[in-house]
Amino acid sequence: MKRRAFTLIELLVVIAIIAILAAILFPVFSQAREAARKSSCLSNSKQFGTAILMYAQDYDEAIVPWFKIREYPGQPLNERFWFGLLHPYIKSTLVPPDPGRTYTVGGQPAGLHRCPSWSQERYMEGVNMPDCYPGEMDPYWPPTQVFAHYGIVFQMASRIGSGTQQDPFFHFPGSLCYPPSMGGLTRYMPEIKRPAETILIGDGITMLDKGPTYVVISIGCESAKIHQDGANFTFLDGHAKNIKRNPERYLQSTVENGQTVWFSRYFCFSME
C-alpha cells in the first residue's frame, strides 16, 4: 500500500492561500465591526435629538444649555451639564455619581454618553490634523473625568469671521444658563434659520482637565476621525447623521449687501 502526503511545496501553497484570504477578510471584518459601532453611536445621537426637542417643548422653545448656574449648595456637577439637563428625557447613566468635586481620576462615561468607537488616539488624530487645532489639546491630558464622548456647541452673542471662503462666518446656537452679566445667553428654536442643517451635539468630548481646573468641551473638526473618516452629529430638528471628515469645511454662500459671503453650513444658525 502507498500513502500519499503533502509535499513541502503544496503545504507552502496552502499556507500562502490561507494568508491571502486572511489579509482580504480581516479588514472586511474590522470594517463590519466599525460599522456596527458607528450605528450604535448614531443611535445615541438620535436619542439626544429627541431629548433636545422634548427639552425645548418643556422650556418655551429654549435650546438646552451646555451648562447652567448652580441651583443649590452641593448640587452635583453632572446635573449642571447638558447631559444632566437631558437626563430626564433619556434616563441614561450619569457619570460621576458623586456630588461636588469628588471624582475618580480617569473616570469614563457610560450608557448613551459612551461612544464605542471613541478613543483618545482617534480623537487626537482629528485634533492634530492641519485644518484643525494641532497641539491645542495636549495640555489637558490625561483628564480627571470624561463625562461624555460627545460635545455640544457653546453660546455666541454674534457671528464671527469675515465671510470669505478662507474665513467663513460661524455662529453657534448654544445656550448658557447664567446671568447675562456672566456671559449667559439662551437661544430659542425659532431663531434657527436652518434647523435641519444646524448642529448642536456631536462626537467629541465633555470632560474636566487634569487639574481639575477647566471644563473642556469640543465638537467639530476634532471628531473627524472618530468613525474612521467622519463623525456623527445631532441637528436642531432632532435628526442625526454621519458627516465625512472635517464638518467645518462644508461651506455655503449667500448674498449680503450685494456681495457673496460664505458661512459654515453646519455651524452658523443665523444665516440661510
Q: What is the pLDDT of residue 105?
A: 47
Mean pLDDT of 71-76: 84
Residue 99 confidence (pLDDT): 40
What confidence category does residue 98 fall into, taking pLDDT thresholds of 50, 70 and 90? very low
Helix locations, 128-185, DSSP H: none
pLDDT surpassing 90 at residue 95:
no
The closest of 194, 171, 191 to 263, measured between CA atoms, is: 171
Q: What percent of the chain has pLDDT over 90?
A: 61
Average pLDDT over residues 121-150: 90
Q: Which 8-state DSSP code applies to residue 62?
A: B
Q: What is the pLDDT of residue 97?
A: 47
Given a contact cutoff of 8 angstroms between Cβ atoms, the answer to whether 232 and 203 are in contact is yes
For the purposes of burial, counting CB atoms within 10 Å of the CB of 265, is it exposed (0-12), middle (13-18) or buried (19 or more)?
buried
Place of cell 471628515: 245
How far apart, in Å, are the Cα atoms of 143 and each of 25, 137, 208? 37, 11, 6
239: helix, coil or strand?
coil
Least confident of 97-101, 149-153, 214-218, 237-241: 97-101
For residues 8-22, give the mean pLDDT: 74
Mean pLDDT along residues 245-256:
94
Please give the average per-residue pLDDT across 131-135, as a whole number.
92
Rounded-to-integer distance, Cα 253 and Cα 163, Å: 9
Grid cell locating 252: 455655503
Question: Residues 26-49: what's their mean pLDDT?
Answer: 78
pLDDT of amino acid 156: 96
Task: Give CA–CA dist 267/89, Å, rounded.
Answer: 25
Q: How many CB atoms lie within 10 A of CB 132?
A: 20
Residue 140 is predicted with a pLDDT of 85
pLDDT band at 1 (very low <50, low <70, confident <90, very high): low
